[in-house]
Structure 1
Amino acid sequence: MIWMRALALGWGDLFRPSVFGLVLRGIGLTILLFLALHTVLFWGFREFISGEAWLPFIGDVPLGSLLGWGSLILLPFVGIFLMAPVAAAFSGFYADRVAGEVEATHYPRRQGASPDFWDSLLESAAIMGAVLLVTIATLLATPILGPLAPVVFYGANGWLLGREFFQMAANRHMESDAASALRRQNAATVTMLGIAIAFALTVPILNIAIPVLAAAAFTHLFQIISE
């Protein structure tokens, strides 16, 4: 399958000397984005959630503070749900640099041009917001969705991440409308690779390198299907 081939090529790029420096910087940026997003989450709990909760041996405590400090204690678990929006933000900040290095290594005669940074950042911010909404809605609807909750979570996030990373890769070579048309023509392949990325983002420790992998894999995917 094409998406598996692109994913395998992306994995191989993570260990290339020419890309490994970008991988390390990308991991650092991923961690910073994760901490920033978690800080916003912590602040949001404390500022906007009212009411009290009763704890044994402690008594009543503000619910917002309980959720905020609890999110710090459960940081690895929280990371499962926050890494998808982090990856969406990463695509606006850094993915183009990874794509440029991958193209210089594998496709020297088919290198693209970097799109406008602010346009990319605004688009990735919109996708990050959508991913956050999907994550929150899935968590809230889990009692109703039951065993379908993971299907909704990975399916929706896979589609959103696939859309964002593929557009990033394609916009280096063509106008946005043409890139969108190409993505729609290959919707199943793009979404399957997005779902694979969404799943990998929920694997602790490994997930900090996945945004770099996504940028590399979708660069390969674009190059393969546009030949």
Structure 2
Amino acid sequence: MLSDAIRALRETFSPPFRQTMWLSLGLTVFILVLFGAGLQWALTAIPEFGPDLAGGWVDTILQFIARFLAVIVLIPLVHPVVTLVAGFFLETIAARVEAEDYPADPPGNDQPFLQSLVVALRFTLVLIVVNLLALPLYLLPFVNVALFWVINGYLIGREYFELVALRHVSTTEAELLRKRYRARIFLAGVVIALFTTVPVLNLFAPLFATALMVHTYKRLAAGSRI
């Protein structure tokens, strides 16, 4: 696992991946800016009570609480946004990793772009809903980080593994392989979730996650044939 993670990290910033890396980064930042602009617009729409109510202190307190909550909500949304971006580049990244590191293996079959986009949107929605439901627990010290890793590690591991596996096997085979190696796939998902909690690096998570899952799939698929 560690060797695969180091390998994926090295590939994420290697020259063959840089064009995709910058495109992924640009799109991620653009979507986050849109989210931020939307939250800012929502904040300006909050009605003001004016100085007649407690000398304006009510407005000050409400604005502070609203901005605090906006930050708390925006932070968990970074990861779903990064995951959404992965839907645009997963096939390209996976194909490049396979060609670079597994040239002797049969190449994977690219999924139709629209299908990949629908899957990415569905998974992003699941991440947003689950993380928003867990938001109260994210406010608890020490528990929040561990809970984030566990929840997102499971979701990421499951989804990314199946997306990569479907390039090579049927849906049924991919699901059977995932269930057989659920612990290993969960650990790979946790590693990716850890990566997403590192500022700046989390913006490159789509490349790292896809590369790591390609290596994970190849290793598990080879083990299942022994």
Which residue of 2 is the match for residue 174 of structure 1? 169
Task: Please state whether the residue corresponding to 2:199 is helix, strand or coil.
Answer: coil
Which residue of 2 is the match for residue 130 of structure 1? 126
Q: Which runs of 5+ in 1 are unaligned?
A: none
TM-score w.r.t. structure 1 length?
Answer: 0.81
Which residue of 1 is the match for residue 22 of structure 2? 24
Deviation of 1:18 (Å): 1.6
Deviation of 1:21 (Å): 2.1
CA–CA distance in 2 between the matches of 1:51 and 1:195?
44
Relative to structure 1, the CA distance from residue 203 to residue 142 in structure 2 (aligned partners, 3 Å threshold; closer, same or farther) is closer
Relative to structure 1, the CA distance from residue 46 to residue 226 in structure 2 (aligned partners, 3 Å threshold; closer, same or farther) is farther
Relative to structure 1, the CA distance from residue 177 to residue 146 in structure 2 (aligned partners, 3 Å threshold; closer, same or farther) is same
| Greater Cα shift, 152-161 or 133-142 | 133-142
CA–CA distance in 1 between the matches of 2:44 and 2:176?
43
Task: Please state whether the residue corresponding to 2:169 is helix, strand or coil.
Answer: coil
Relative to structure 1, the CA distance from residue 65 to residue 124 in structure 2 (aligned partners, 3 Å threshold; closer, same or farther) is farther
Structure 2 residue 199 is the aligned partner of structure 1 residue 204: yes
> What root-mean-square deviation, in Å, do the aligned CA atoms of Structure 1 and Structure 2 show?
3.3
Relative to structure 1, the CA distance from residue 209 to residue 50 in structure 2 (aligned partners, 3 Å threshold; closer, same or farther) is same
Deviation of 1:50 (Å): 8.1
Structure 2 residue 137 is the aligned partner of structure 1 residue 141: yes
Q: Deviations over 1:184-225 (max 9, x none)?
A: 111111111111111221211121112211111111111111
Structure 2 residue 178 is the aligned partner of structure 1 residue 183: yes
Q: Which one has a bigger Cα radius of gyration?
A: 2
CA contact (8 A) 1:92 1:120 kept: yes
Which residue of 2 is the match for residue 116 of structure 1? 112
Which residue of 1 is the match for residue 102 of structure 2? 107
Relative to structure 1, the CA distance from residue 140 to residue 105 in structure 2 (aligned partners, 3 Å threshold; closer, same or farther) is same
CA–CA distance in 2 between the matches of 1:122 and 1:67?
35
Deviation of 1:127 (Å): 1.5
Deviation of 1:126 (Å): 1.8
TM-score w.r.t. structure 2 length?
Answer: 0.81
CA–CA distance in 2 between the matches of 1:96 and 1:107?
15
Matches within 5 A, 1:1-227: 3-42=1-40, 58-61=56-59, 74=71, 80-110=75-105, 111-142=107-138, 147-227=142-222
| Percent of residue pairs identical | 25
Q: Deviations over 1:56-114 (max 9, x none)?
A: 97433399876665577x5xx76642222023212321111111111111112322011
CA contact (8 A) 2:82 2:203 kept: no
Relative to structure 1, the CA distance from residue 163 to residue 33 in structure 2 (aligned partners, 3 Å threshold; closer, same or farther) is farther
Relative to structure 1, the CA distance from residue 103 to residue 153 in structure 2 (aligned partners, 3 Å threshold; closer, same or farther) is same
Relative to structure 1, the CA distance from residue 51 to residue 119 in structure 2 (aligned partners, 3 Å threshold; closer, same or farther) is farther
Task: Please state whether the residue corresponding to 2:58 is helix, strand or coil.
Answer: strand
CA contact (8 A) 2:50 2:56 kept: no
Q: Which runs of 5+ in 2 are unaligned?
A: none
- Structure 1 letter corresponding to 2:33: L
Deviation of 1:41 (Å): 4.7
CA–CA distance in 2 between the matches of 1:53 and 1:135?
35
